[in-house]
Structure 1
């Protein structure tokens, strides 16, 4: 009876979305989780705890000028800065066979990392993220009205740091009031150089590594639709969906962790 009650309690916790993900059979994986614009490594905390509980090694770095590294923000920060952040992490931690995950803007970052450090990687996972062709910047494919909105936000930020003020949590699909308050407290301005510098690749996108795309289907973001259409039309991608908003690591950390484990296996 006692054992039955234990299992029943565990099932109740899992149904509430509180239980950690459990590892699929096989060796544990090494994950590097890269956050999107305005965010920081903090946004992955709920996913990190679940992956580590399942026996995996996890890094969730914060890119230069954002999150707890906001004191480093400057007009000199650009896309290369953020690519170097992750390449240096891989090198100095001597990581191998990494499952590299990029959310939103960080899809561009992990594409650059794969171009420079493919031998350290095993797989790329793009989480509701952007893809760029070599030679294009983040602004290249944005509608002119969106570009002007972002540039206005940069002008309004002021301070000479060259940064765009963060969008509200609702723009990322975060609707729960407690979650939204947590996210709002941690969002920081995004360096404008990351919008303006083109991604330059020597190899085709992904550099020969397996690629997966996770599409968040709740409140889809219009600027991501060209990327998603490109992925749907290419049989070379593994595709998965999550019925949640853009910030899946906040709104659906359990299902996201389970999906990452599934893809890594």
Structure 2
């Protein structure tokens, strides 16, 4: 017999689990849905000292009251923080931890770090020190009615359930979001299952894509005790897909689900050779920028390659030393233009503003170089770097002759928390005018990324934007180092030829 302890996200209470809990009980399971201090029907209990430790203790008490010998802790969104904290106090009772569309907080991380709404992060991030709020100001108000999508996709949630979500939401005690998590080794070692909600922008394919980077935190997920499920719904599956969620939870308790495999090639995908045989060329390094000058006299056009991400800050080598970007830089230089690569600082989903500044600085540096024709520059964006193209599409300067993108993200998924008008290329393309856009699209794309490309193309069609598509039907995300086919080589040659053609026309 299994006891499920269900811990929901910020501003909510046990009521959100009503239908899921009923289905689990029908299967014979014991179910305890948490209403944390200050939440739901306990909102009157919030005090100035209510913090994450308070919520951890709430979950510990539920574990102690569970009658079944094995407990499965389920943490949705913010709820994963008190779940992990409580697991450290009672690891011997826990059979599995379920991350329900939740992040992977590490020891010392406050829940604030994983809040998807950038505006909320910025506001709460200033709520420390001697000027920290007191009294009622220590209560974080819930999203306004109609704004719950800022905390995650509401796709599939019935209107009546959305209304209940807004009506029953309680202010969240500030300390629950700012107090660091204490994650013990015992809790971190427990069997775990991730339930990913694809409409919120997460999927097994995306986890596997990031896994290829060799990021140590994710490499720990390649374990027989770690499994995954996907639900084709938004961030609130207990309201939008309760039957499917209950089934996934029962499967998780039984140790079922998809298991990740380490890549066959011991080298991460991004460190495998570039698909074109490009001769070595000299490069010049200036700060975060590498330049590959061509064998030509006088100023020449330049192509600035913008890598994807987020890329962990400590990952080595950095992107400008990855074979794909050195390959593109050398190849463009061999065709008579200046190839440029940039190590921008997109290390986290909160870093797009800083990365945009890095790109703007790099472009200014490149245009000031006497070997560059300052009036003939192209910008080429890859993968998660795609949102950085929006600034340039929204107000293209006259010297920007072309924008290119390869397997790009062209609309931030809801889980990224980028809710403002910036960094949304599918919106910005409406202001691009006749600026040429060269898009390399791969047929084996991660579905969540492919959907952003289709949204972009629909907007481009509506405004008659000048978009050229280079299709690679059998290509994968990051194909330049993993798909060494003639079709893939032709796609790179075609895209480069098109970009250089726009620079020289």
Same structural fold, with TM-score higher than 0.5 when normalized by the shorter chain = yes
Query: Superposition RMSD on alpha carbons, in Å?
Result: 2.9
**Displacement of 1:169 after TM fit?**
3.3
The answer on 1:170 being equivalent to 2:144 is: no
- Contact 2:5/2:33 (8 A) holds in 1: yes
CA 159–78 in structure 1, closer or farther in 2 if over 3 Å, else same: closer
C-alpha separation in 2, matches of 1:135 and 1:173: 27
- Contact 1:170/1:180 (8 A) holds in 2: no
In structure 2, the partner of 1:245 is 234
**Which structure 1 residue ranges, 4+ long, deviate > 4 Å from structure 2?**
140-146, 150-153, 228-233
Q: Which entry has the higher C-alpha Rg, 1 or 2? A: 2
Residue deviations 1:115-174, cap 9 Å, x none?
Answer: 111111111111011222112212346697542244699x9x996251111123334433
- Where structure 2 has 5 or more consecutive residues not aligned to the other structure, the ranges are 255-505
SS of aligned partner of 1:214:
strand
- Contact 2:3/2:66 (8 A) holds in 1: no
Q: How does 1:162-241 map to 2 (within 5 A)?
A: 162-167=138-143, 168-171=147-150, 172-174=152-154, 175-203=157-185, 206-220=187-201, 233=219, 234-236=221-223, 237-241=226-230
CA 100–88 in structure 1, closer or farther in 2 if over 3 Å, else same: same
- Contact 2:2/2:68 (8 A) holds in 1: no
SS of aligned partner of 1:43:
helix
C-alpha separation in 2, matches of 1:59 and 1:41: 9
When normalised by structure 1's length, the TM-score is 0.78
C-alpha separation in 1, matches of 2:239 and 2:252: 19
**Displacement of 1:65 after TM fit?**
0.3
- Contact 1:51/1:58 (8 A) holds in 2: yes
Which of 21, 27, 45 aligns to 2:18? It is: 45
SS of aligned partner of 2:43:
helix
**Displacement of 1:114 after TM fit?**
1.3
When normalised by structure 2's length, the TM-score is 0.42
- Contact 2:111/2:177 (8 A) holds in 1: yes
- Contact 2:111/2:176 (8 A) holds in 1: yes
C-alpha separation in 2, matches of 1:90 and 1:79: 17
The answer to which of 160-169 and 61-70 deviates more is 160-169
The answer on 1:58 being equivalent to 2:31 is: yes
What is the number of residues matched between the two proteins? 232
C-alpha separation in 1, matches of 2:3 and 2:65: 15
Of Structure 1 and Structure 2, the greater strand share is in 2
The answer on 1:131 being equivalent to 2:131 is: no
C-alpha separation in 1, matches of 2:201 and 2:6: 21
SS of aligned partner of 2:201:
coil
In structure 2, the partner of 1:76 is 49
In structure 2, the partner of 1:119 is 92
CA 147–170 in structure 1, closer or farther in 2 if over 3 Å, else same: closer
**Displacement of 1:207 after TM fit?**
4.0
Of structures 1 and 2, the one with the larger relative CO (CA 8 A, separation 6+) is 1
C-alpha separation in 1, matches of 2:166 and 2:126: 20
In structure 1, the partner of 2:381 is none
